[in-house]
Amino acid sequence: MESVLNSIDSPKDLEKLDLKQLEQLARELRTLIIETVSRTGGHLAANLGVVELAVALTRTFDPARDRLIWDVGHQGYAYKVLTGRRERFSTLRQYEGVSGFLRREESPCDAFGAGHAGTALSAALGMAAARDRQDGDEHVVAIVGDGAIGCGISLEALNNLHGTTQRLIVVLNDNEMSIAENVGALSRHLGGMLANPRYNRWKGSVESVAGKMGLAWLRSAYYKVEEAAKSLFLRSAYFEEMGLRYVGPIDGHNLSALLDALDIAKHARRPILLHVTTRKGKGFAQAEKEPEKWHGASAFHLETGKPITTNDSPPYSQVFGSVLEKMAEQNDRIVAITAAMAAGTGLSGFAKRFPRRFFDVGISEEHAVVFAAGMACHGFTPVFAVYSTFLQRAVDCVIHDVCLQNLPVVFCLDRAGIVGDDGPTHHGVFDIALLRPVPGLTIMQPADESELARMLLTALQSGRPTAIRYPRGPGRGVAVPQEVTPLEIGKARIVRQPESGHAAGALPGGPVWIWALGDMLSTAESTADLLAAQGVAVGVVNARFVRPLDTALLARQAQDARLILTLENGVAKGGFGSETEEALTEMRFAGIVLRRGWPDAFVPQGKADILLERYGLTPEALARDVVAALKKQRQG
């Protein structure tokens, strides 16, 4: 059979396809997505669930002119292929390749970029309001997942919808992961009727006649009857009261039904919501069976679904989850909180073992922080496990509701630092700079799995607000001891003492000290090896704490050090290095301070080794920087 997909170079190419060809196109898209993600990794389950929806939307609207806003972008792969990126799709999530999310700079068809959930409705409402004031006629469509519709930003947008615009289309993609199914035969029948073209033509005729005859009461009465029927048989009253006409549920894998429903939406005379039901992971058995597991997949074998690369060391999130469970066995005041990421943050086991002490609040990070503060007020010790990049939304709550009241909430920031292929929306590089100025907040980062366990115990026993950040993936393979002991807060650890250089051409003078934070410790040790080989006396410190910084140790080293280098897996501006340099300035340190971390820019997607090389964070580049600075100091 001749490929339909290979003939699609732009959305215009879909106009010539009949229904059977569109269905074939959907099948080919699904195959392409599975094969590509098996090589590159990516968000598989959600994208497989919206293939037909992407085809129908691209066929119905003009993506280069109409504004199609995909919430998060977890759902955007098929849309990318259909909007001119088919030939480059093999570069998905690779350095300088196609992004795993929607990005305005990547295509004019990407109306709004996002990697965090819940922004589509607000953005769409803003675009619709702007269009209305410019007398435009383009359509604005927000495609929102059922998890994102409960996000605080989405609820604020819904609250603001009434009176803002009369032309807005919302497609609610319900993949049965968050919104309960509408129940009963009458519900299904009424939903089908509301999405039927003949019903909507009749409805349109009634509205038109009422308008021409000036019978406003007739139109008003019709709406009241329709909304009363929906309230009786459908769970749609909420949307109706927010000013959205509800249509659905619609089978999201039935292209004919989708095309009919979208045509209805195009001609609606008021804001409209299409409730589309889809199956997450559709077309790939493993993803259909375990959609949460396959939400974000690493590269895998197509035949078995097993990861291509494995590491014997457990990831930090798994270590965190297992250690927290053991500590919760001994302390019934420990509670765990997640924002729709139980598996990703390592809390699935905790949820099964302690269901009454586990809370998944959905995609609502601000609420999660204040909820934790409320529990802390009643004597509990809440542990909020969240990706670093997602805590950004709740920084005000961390300050105002936790730290200002000195409440013992523990923030466990997973995926802290560069996470590579997911790109700038997911790089957890800003948390130190955002949290460092907050009074009373302890911030620490482990260098290995054992330290993570010790830091978790330290935080739970401290009785104060604490943040622990740790990277994605496996640690250094250091086993967690049976008996975990706490750390002394604010104390760093020397892991290498400087030795006098004896190599030819050795640079005379005092030692160089490298203060490394967390996962940058191994880079520091490799850098020290390279410097020692060039005759530089160099020592290495595992900083452990961003705040409080071990200023006593720093002051002792500052007395004779020529240069102090700081390393962190976060932005250098305002981060751990800045904390260290500020302390050295107060000590009137006369030597050189080099701060190394990620640049004052949004770092692109790509494998970690590529990014480290590009931004000068390899041991070789760091050693060159140190030697160059020392030589410049001598010449000066």
Terminal Cα-to-Cα distance of the chain (whole angstroms)? 74
Write down the pLDDT at residue 500: 64
Q: Is 176 known to be catalytic? A: no
Name the catalytic one among 67, 167, 280, 436: 280
Q: Is 266 known to be catalytic? A: no
Q: What is the pTM of this model?
A: 0.86
**446 and 455 in contact (C-beta within 8 Å)?**
yes
Write down the pLDDT at residue 29: 93
Pick from 392, 399, 345: nearest CA to 370: 399
Write down the pLDDT at residue 398: 97
Q: Is 212 known to be catalytic? A: no
Which ranges constitute the DSSP H helices of 162-313? 185-194, 197-212, 216-233, 237-241, 255-266, 285-289
The DSSP H or E segment spanning 624 is helix 619-635
Q: How far is CA 226 from CA 180, 220, 236, in A?
A: 22, 10, 11
Extended strands (E) in 327-392: 334-338, 358-360, 381-387
Write down the pLDDT at residue 112: 87
Name the catalytic one among 80, 167, 393, 472: 393
Write down the pLDDT at residue 118: 86
Helix then strand then coil, % of the chain, to nearest 5: 45, 15, 40
Length of the chain: 636
Q: Which residue has the tokens 């002394």?
A: 488
**249 and 191 in contact (C-beta within 8 Å)?**
yes
Residues of the chain whose pLDDT is less than 70? 176-237, 310-311, 500-508, 636
- Burial class of 502 by CB neighbour count within 10 A (0 to 12, 13 to 18, 19+): exposed
How do residues 392-406 score in pLDDT, each as one tens digit?
999 999 999 999 999
Q: What are residue 300's DSSP bridge partners?
A: 307
List of domains in the chain: 5-182+235-285 (3.40.50.970), 316-469 (3.40.50.970), 493-635 (3.40.50.920)
CA distance 596 to 570: 9
Q: Which residues contact residue 560 at a Cβ distance below 8 angstroms, ignoring those fewer than 6 apart?
A: 510, 511
- Burial class of 628 by CB neighbour count within 10 A (0 to 12, 13 to 18, 19+): exposed
Write down the pLDDT at residue 214: 52
Write down the pLDDT at residue 247: 83
Write down the pLDDT at residue 181: 36
Name the catalytic one among 28, 365, 451, 579: 365
